[in-house]
Homo-oligomer: A and B are copies of this chain.
Amino acid sequence: MSMLYLTPSIRLRRTPFSNRVDSAGAKAYTIYNHMRLASYYETPEEDYRHLKTAVQVWDVSCERQVEIKGPDALRLVQMTTPRDMSRMQDDQCYYVPMVDSAGKMMNDPVAVRLGQDRYWLSLADSDMLLYCKGLAAGSGLDVEVFEPDVSPLAIQGPKADELVCRVFGEEIIRTRFFRHKTINFQGQDMIIARSGWSHQGGFELYLDGSGYGEAVWDALFEAGKDLDVRAGCPNLIERIEAGLLSFGSDITMDHTPFEAGLGKYCHLDSATGFLGRKALLDLQEPAKQIRALALAGPAVPAINHPWPLHDSTGNIAGCISSSTWSPDFDTNVTIAMVKREHWGGGTVLTAKVPDGDRSAIVRDKFWI
């Protein structure tokens, strides 16, 4: 992989787990919400194989939280998203596309409901804290908006339940998908949810108080020795196979939720208070949309700018945003924004990869 050097600075924030991540041997990083995020430990392929067979602990502190608290908390959250929040329970997590007044995506966090008047947004890579602050200031709603000292730690993989059971108790592994419970660690209550940015199952612990970070990490590694617990991170191969979209890569502020394939989260039939409703009503039939593609040939190079897709006459048919070699599916698993006339399953396009043209087949769905 063609790598760049990253100059350290305070602006690129360390996390409560950074000492442990460094010791565990993270080999490369990305920057996400002004914060470090490891991108692999052994190789992306070895991390992937381990993630699918054992259990990993991921420092995803960079999923920063926006806390919205006060009598108008629900009203403010609902203004930002087409998803109907009205029936959300106090122990629920919702995946929520966040959309501006013009119908364009700003973020796609997981919203965590902590009570009638209190929500966290567990962010993708943009400062939604600032949007929420601006919206609160402009609208005069009765809410506090701030970033709490909360840093998610994911426990992912087929043995995640066993590890969580050992450390946090059997009650916790009865948590349903996208529901949360509370654990107590050294006297401190913390939220733990069955969620995470992989398809392998597991939990996200919302570390509440940076000071507990290394002790929580150490407790998990101590208890999981015989499970071969390792440090890990969101894995490029596994997340493309599973169709987990990366905001900033696959979805940007140029896209609507319909283009992003998130139409099922858009409840536009009733006036919930969502500010982008009027704009989205006119955008429900997108001219392009996210698709899974299989790219022929050997492993593609690392992608750092969009690769064009051409049709058989050489016209632009779309644009690839994520692509990498999948050992399990024996192809280059790929995410692209594809024009309507080309997005049907089985359509064959040409991908303009830097090392040459590749045949690309549009799929009906992702791999897993």
Contact = CB atoms under 8 A, between A and B. Distances in A.
A331 interface: no
B11 A1 contact: no
A9 B128 contact: no
Contact of A130 (B11, B127, B247): B127
23 contacts: A3-B6, A4-B5, A5-B5, A6-B30, A7-B302, A9-B249, A10-B304, A11-B247, A34-B248, A79-B137, A101-B136, A106-B130, A130-B134, A131-B133, A134-B134, A134-B136, A134-B138, A135-B135, A135-B138, A136-B138, A137-B275, A138-B139, A139-B139
A68 to B, nearest CB: 12
Given A130-B106, A130-B131, A303 B9 contact: yes
Among A7, A32, A147, the one with the most B-chain Cβ atoms within 10 Å of its Cβ is: A7
A54 B27 CA distance: 38
Interface residues of A, number: 57
Contact of A31 (B3, B12, B304, B306): B12
A356 interface: no
A126 interface: yes
A65 interface: no
Nearest to A247: B11
Contacts of A4: 5-6, 8, 28-29, 36
Contacts of A14: 304-305
Q: How many subunits of this chain does the assembly comprise?
A: 2
7 closest Cβ pairs, A-B complex = A138-B138, A134-B134, A11-B248, A138-B139, A134-B135, A127-B127, A8-B304
Given A5-B27, A134-B136, 14 more contacts: A3-B6, A4-B5, A4-B8, A4-B28, A4-B29, A8-B302, A9-B304, A31-B31, A34-B126, A106-B130, A127-B131, A130-B131, A131-B131, A138-B139
A186 to B, nearest CB: 23
A111 B195 CA distance: 42
Interface string A82-97: 0000000000000000
A366 to B, nearest CB: 18
A6 B34 contact: no
A101 B39 contact: no
